[in-house]
Amino acid sequence: MNLLLERLIRTSGVICLVLLFILMTIQVVLRYAFGYTHFFTEELGRYLLVWSTLIGMALESREGGHIRVSFLVERLPKPLYVIWHFLLDLIILFLFLLLVYTGIESTIFNHGQQSAGIQLPLSIPFAAIPVFFFCAAMFMLERLWKYRSNKE
């Protein structure tokens, strides 16, 4: 299940980055070659950048690839080291679920508003918060499950 979710997220991340590259290239060409910039390129590019950042965050939470200060933790005995990382991942899972909840509230709250340029309901860009933090929470649950299976 999580492998399918990871592939889906990776594919959407690649699509976001390719579209972002195309939009920014068009914007630069239009601005410097013709002295004109279409109104939607910058706004849509901003939304794609936020979505791709949150996609990257979700994917890195699966691998535990976030920055950690670990020079003291690495000196702990193996059982304490595992317990420490388990507790950190448990706290992070709680924060992810909190962000899912507040992200849903924020998405609902912003549904009635529209973006300035392309008149897109703001709930669409805000939906990235609950969607990708939920995916990150699923990946974190998978990491926590691996702790359990490593003990047996």
Residues 58-90 pLDDT 10s: 999 888 777 777 777 788 888 888 888 889 889
pLDDT digits (tens, 9 = 90+) for 6-22: 999 999 999 999 999 99
User: Nearest-5° angle of CA 103, CA 86, CA 131?
Assistant: 20
C-alpha angle 26/53/69, rounded to 5°? Answer: 140
Residue with token string 């299940």:
1
Band (pLDDT 50/70/90 cuts) for residue 50 is very high
CA distances from 79 to 76, 85, 144, 151 (A): 8, 10, 15, 10
* Contact predicate 128/50, CB 8 Å: yes
Burial code (b: 16+ CB inside 10 Å, e: under 16) for 30-57 equals: eeeeeeeeeeebebbbebbebbbebbbb
Global pTM value = 0.85
List 114's β-bridge partners, or say none.
Answer: 121
Which of 32-41, 49-58, 120-129 has the least mean pLDDT?
A: 32-41
- CA-closest candidate to residue 82, choices 91, 71, 73: 73
